[in-house]
Structure 1
């Protein structure tokens, strides 16, 4: 076989399954990475306000989550 042989281009016989299935924890880590990337983008675009405004906006969400957890 040479580099110009067209028979190597047939990928239908190859399998792409390598046992890499995304688990529940993988989705959580991907979500955390996405939030961190968006927050970093906010800091790059808007400077210091981009750092603290998303944190201030998250306070009611965190507070409500803590209240719901404490109520059982």
Structure 2
């Protein structure tokens, strides 16, 4: 048995890579839509459209920080 035979996996699961790629695309699409919506609120309502969504997300971030700290 040579080194190249031991370093190469016997079975490569291509479906895991495809699933990971789809998940990554969905995450980026969600981030893009969130930022586009936030930008649209700034265009429609001006400065209040900028800070009110951030103010509304404070409890969400508080919960996320608690979840991160709990492990």
Q: Same fold (TM over 0.5)?
A: yes
Looking at CA atoms only, which structure, 1 or 2, has the larger radius of gyration?
Answer: 1
Equivalent residue, structure 1, for 2:67 = 68
Tell me the TM-score normalised to structure 2 length: 0.68
- Measure how far apart 1:71 and its partner are: 1.0
CA distance, structure 2, for counterparts of residue 25 and residue 50 of structure 1? 28
Gaps of 5+ in 1: 1-20
Q: Which runs of 4+ in 1 moved over 6 A?
A: none
| Greater helix share, structure number | 2
Structural RMSD (CA): 1.4
Equivalent residue, structure 2, for 1:9 = none
- Measure how far apart 1:53 and its partner are: 0.4
Equivalent residue, structure 2, for 1:40 = 39
CA distance, structure 2, for counterparts of residue 40 and residue 70 of structure 1? 31
Tell me the TM-score normalised to structure 1 length: 0.68
